[in-house]
């Protein structure tokens, strides 16, 4: 069973949080998880406070902001999450850094949060807080699709799980996570891979079909990966740009959830790779980045 004893749910009191909360509730109900609802109160900028307020006034302002935030947090999504174990946390600090630190200190097995924005243009923007959390969090991160309307409770389900791998050294971990989730929910598991398409001029490589060879090689490697993990998922291989291929398969398969890897690099570039970033932005369903 997955390590989902605690699920961290950061909230900013916007409507977008409701979709993430409903997914957190689905998982918490299955695994008996405790949901940690976190709201981060960001400090008042020093330049603003120094120019506009005296010390006593500033102290009162900060106290009022925290009091108001606590009151909103205590009531937020009370009806939607009323029947799960729930703890509400109010912390002051930088939003992204605080989310990552709380997840680590609490031993959260998953962070669930929306991405960013509404509308045809803003749906392709990944919010800065979400991007930083994806880079730095040590546990898997659930990110919701850019929906203009909050999904109805009856649409929150897990019947089809798609796992996309690039056959890199970290491919086993997202497949294990996806396979266990699919098994726990009785969902169909599909394993997807995008192959680069080789464009050849007539007669350039004789009778060889390099694309067919690439696909055959990928299929063998996927079979070896499944043997390593102990899964028997259906395999789907398509040619083209990885984010487009993965999102296209997710649409064709009507996946309820997409599981991908983030890599393991640390430092300046963090854990989120270019393809993962694009997949998260454009996926038609929620994505778990492992």
Q: For residue 141, how many C-alpha atoms fall within 13 Å in the half-sphere facing its CB? A: 30
Burial of 28 (0-12, 13-18, 19+ CB in 10 A): buried
Give the DSSP H or E segment for 127.
Answer: none
The DSSP line for 178-233 is HHHHHHHHT-EEEEEEEEPPPP--TTTTTT--HHHHHHHHHHHHHHHHHHHHT---
- Please tell me the distance from the alpha carbon of residue 82 to that of residue 86, in angstroms, as a whole number: 8
- The residues pairing with 7 across neighbouring beta strands, listed in sequence order, are 35, 110
Residue 17: closest CA among 131, 196, 151: 151
- Whole-prediction pTM value? 0.86
Helix, strand, coil percentages for the chain (3-state, nearest 5) = 45, 20, 40
DSSP character at residue 150: P
Return the axis-axis angle of helices 128-136 and 95-106, rounded to nearest 10°.
40
Q: Report pLDDT for 92.
A: 93
DSSP state of 125: -
Q: Which residue's entry shows tokens 């981060």?
A: 40
CA dist., res. 188 & res. 234, Å (int): 9
Q: Output the CA–CA distances (angstroms, integers) from residue 77 to 63, 67, 83, 145, in the order listed.
A: 24, 18, 11, 20
Q: Per-residue pLDDT for the chain (290 aa), expressed as one digit of tens each?
A: 799 999 999 999 988 899 899 999 999 999 999 999 999 998 876 544 444 545 555 566 667 888 899 999 999 999 999 889 999 999 999 999 999 999 999 999 999 998 764 444 344 446 788 889 999 999 999 998 765 567 777 778 999 999 999 998 889 999 999 999 999 999 999 999 999 876 655 555 555 667 888 999 999 999 999 999 999 999 999 999 999 999 999 999 999 999 999 864 433 333 456 788 889 988 999 999 99
CATH architecture of 1-148: 3-Layer(aba) Sandwich (3.40)
65, 41 contact by CB (below 8 A)? yes
Helix (H, G, I), strand (E, B) or coil at 268: coil
Token duo for residue 69: 């935030």
> How far, in Å, CA of 204 to CA of 194, rounded?
24
What distances in angstroms separate CA 201 from CA 197, 207, 208, 216, one per listed residue? 13, 12, 12, 21
Segments making up each domain of the chain, as ranges: 1-148, 157-290
The CATH fold of domain 157-290: Rossmann fold (3.40.50)
157-290 and 1-148 share a CATH fold:
yes
């Amino acid at each position: 069973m997955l390590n989902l004893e605690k699920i961290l749910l950061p909230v900013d009191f916007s409507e977008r949080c409701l979709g993430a909360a409903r997914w957190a509730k689905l998982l918490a109900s299955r695994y008996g998880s405790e949901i940690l609802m976190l709201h981060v109160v960001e400090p008042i900028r020093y330049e603003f406070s120094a120019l506009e307020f005296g010390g006593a006034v500033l102290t009162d302002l900060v106290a009022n902001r925290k009091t108001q935030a606590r009151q909103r947090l205590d009531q937020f999504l009370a009806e939607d999450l009323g029947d799960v174990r729930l703890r509400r946390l109010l912390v002051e600090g930088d939003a992204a850094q605080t989310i990552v630190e709380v997840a680590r200190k609490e031993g959260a097995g998953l962070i669930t949060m929306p991405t960013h924005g509404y509308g045809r243009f803003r749906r392709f923007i990944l919010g800065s807080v979400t991007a930083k959390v994806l880079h730095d969090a040590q546990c898997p991160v659930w990110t919701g699709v850019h929906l203009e309307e909050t999904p109805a409770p009856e649409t929150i389900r897990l019947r089809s799980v798609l796992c996309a791998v690039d056959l890199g050294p970290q491919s086993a971990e997202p497949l294990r996570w996806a396979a266990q989730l699919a098994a726990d929910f009785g969902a169909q598991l599909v394993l997807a891979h995008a192959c680069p398409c080789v464009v050849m001029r007539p007669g350039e490589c004789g009778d060889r079909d390099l694309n067919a060879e690439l696909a055959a090689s990928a299929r063998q490697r996927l079979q070896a990966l499944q043997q390593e993990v102990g899964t028997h998922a259906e395999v789907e291989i398509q040619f083209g740009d990885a984010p487009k291929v993965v999102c296209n398969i997710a649409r064709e398969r009507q996946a309820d959830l997409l599981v991908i890897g983030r890599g393991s690099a640390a430092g300046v570039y963090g854990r989120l790779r270019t393809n993962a970033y694009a997949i998260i932005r454009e996926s038609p369903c929620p994505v778990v980045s492992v």
